Amino acid sequence: MSYNIAIDGPAGAGKSTIAKKVAKDKGFIYVDTGAMYRAMALFMLEKKIDLNDEKAIAEMCKSADISIKYEDGVQCVYLNGVNVNDKIRTPEVSAAASKTSVVAEVRQKLVELQQELAAHESVVMDGRDICTKVLPNADVKVFLTASVEVRAERRYKELIEKGMECDLEEIKKDIAERDHRDMTRAESPLVQAKDAELVDSSSMTIDEVVEKIKSLCK
């Protein structure tokens, strides 16, 4: 039997950092579902699809073969046979992923892939609809959040460390816009599941959040 830990939350709440650590500690696989939506968005950008044209996105997503492989314990996302890990972390892809992920056909395709992974392996899976839609029967459910200011500052530091040019106010605006879009869309909006534990990481260290989640695992 696989054991599933589901973590939802807005952009920049620290989901991936926390989920990776919990997964390592437990010997589980970490599944970053945002990376799958990002790969799909990259595909739409490469195909020059109008991101406001939901019909075109729904049609084009049929030609995107997205898969996950683990190489030295690192999740690699493959888009039509090519590892796209290095291409999906740009602000352009972030914004595009928030737009293309509103399309029902995109969600259906990726949710199936995520459910299949979790059925066969013990996972820590993070995203926006994991507790509510993808793994409603997960053993542990967490809604991880933090204030917009704290999340923007974390993203800013991350990008600067990668040597990317960026502006804090711009990032704050992008995050607020993404929150709005992710929380108000018709298909699987980001909400705290009724049975998910709320964890606000604004004034917690990474280790404190990891310990909190581990304490929820029976």
Q: Are 198 and 192 in contact (CB under 8 A)?
A: yes
Q: What does the DSSP 8-state code read for residue 169?
A: H
Question: Which of 21, 109, 128, 172 forms a contact with ligand DC (CB under 6 A)?
Answer: 128
Determine the interface stretch with ligand DC among 19-27, 126-134, 142-150, 200-208 (rule: CB under 6 A).
126-134
Site membership for ligand DC, residue 11 (CB under 6 A): yes
- Nearest C-alpha neighbor of 94 from the set 39, 140, 24, 48: 39
Q: How far is the CB of 81 from ligand DC (least distance, A)?
A: 22
Token couple for 89: 């972390």
Q: Which stretch binds ligand DC (CB under 6 A): 56-64, 77-85, 123-131, 156-164?
A: 123-131
CB burial of 128-164 (b: ≥16 within 10 Å; e: otherwise) equals bbbbbbbbeebebbbbbbbebebbbbbbbeebeeeee
Window 47-106: residues binding ligand DC (CB under 6 A): 94, 97-98, 101
111 vs 213, which CB is nearer to ligand DC? Answer: 111
Strands 74-79 and 66-71: antiparallel
- Residues 76 and 62: their CA atoms lie apart, in Å, by 21
Q: How far is the CB of 90 from ligand DC (least distance, A)?
A: 12
201 binds ligand DC (CB under 6 A): no
What's the closest the beta carbon of residue 16 comes to ligand DC, in angstroms?
7
Residues in contact with ligand DC by CB under 6 A are 11, 33-34, 37-38, 94, 97-98, 101, 127-129, 178, 182
